[in-house]
C-alpha cells in the first residue's frame, strides 16, 4: 500500500474497499481480444480527465513509463535496466512539470511505429499551436 493511501485510511479499510471493486462490464461478455477490457473504461476516463484538467504550458515531453505489475498478463514486460523491472509500459505525453496529459499502454499498440504513436499522443490538440 502506498504512503499516500496510508495517511487517509487504515490497511484493513483499504483491503475491504479493494475486495468489492470490480472493473468489468458483464454486458460486454467474456473473452474477446481486448486484454485491457476490464480496465479500459477506467483507463480512458482517467486519461480524459487528465486532458480536461491540464493547464496548458509550452514545453511537452513524450516518453515511455513503467507501471509496476507482478502478475501474469500478456502485456507485462521485463526491462532489467529500468528502476521498475516488471510491469506495463505506458506511452505518455506530459508537460515539463511531469503532469501526464495523455497516455495509453504500449501493448495496446504492438504494431505501431514511433511516428504513429507520437501523432496519436499529440493529436490535433497540440499540432501547430505553439507547443
Q: Is the pLDDT of residue 72 over 70?
A: yes
Q: For residue 107, what pLDDT is reported?
A: 76
- Give the 3-state DSSP-derived string for 5-37, with helices as H, strands as E and coil as C: HHHHCCHHHHHHHHHCCCCCCHHHCCCCCCCCC
| 58 contacts: CB under 8 Å, gap ≥ 6 | 130, 131
At residue 94 the predicted structure's pLDDT band, cuts being 50, 70 and 90, is: confident
pTM of the model: 0.65
How confident is the model over 39-61, as a mean pLDDT? 82
At residue 28 the predicted structure's pLDDT band, cuts being 50, 70 and 90, is: low
Q: Is the pLDDT of residue 24 over 70?
A: no
- Beta-strand (E) ranges in the chain? 60-68, 77-78, 86-95, 100-105
Amino acid at each position: 500500500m502506498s504512503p499516500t493511501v496510508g495517511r487517509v485510511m487504515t490497511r484493513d479499510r483499504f483491503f475491504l474497499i479493494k475486495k468489492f471493486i470490480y472493473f468489468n462490464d458483464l454486458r460486454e461478455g467474456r473473452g474477446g481480444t481486448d486484454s485491457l477490457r476490464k480496465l479500459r473504461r477506467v483507463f480512458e476516463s482517467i486519461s480524459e480527465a487528465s486532458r480536461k484538467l491540464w493547464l496548458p504550458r509550452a514545453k511537452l515531453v513524450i516518453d515511455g513509463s513503467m507501471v509496476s505489475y507482478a502478475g501474469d498478463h500478456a502485456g507485462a514486460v521485463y526491462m532489467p535496466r529500468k528502476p521498475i523491472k516488471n510491469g506495463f509500459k505506458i506511452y505518455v505525453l506530459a508537460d515539463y512539470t511531469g503532469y501526464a496529459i495523455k497516455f495509453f499502454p504500449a501493448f495496446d499498440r504492438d504494431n505501431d511505429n514511433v511516428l504513429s504513436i507520437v501523432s496519436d499522443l499529440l493529436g490535433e490538440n497540440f499540432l501547430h499551436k505553439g507547443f
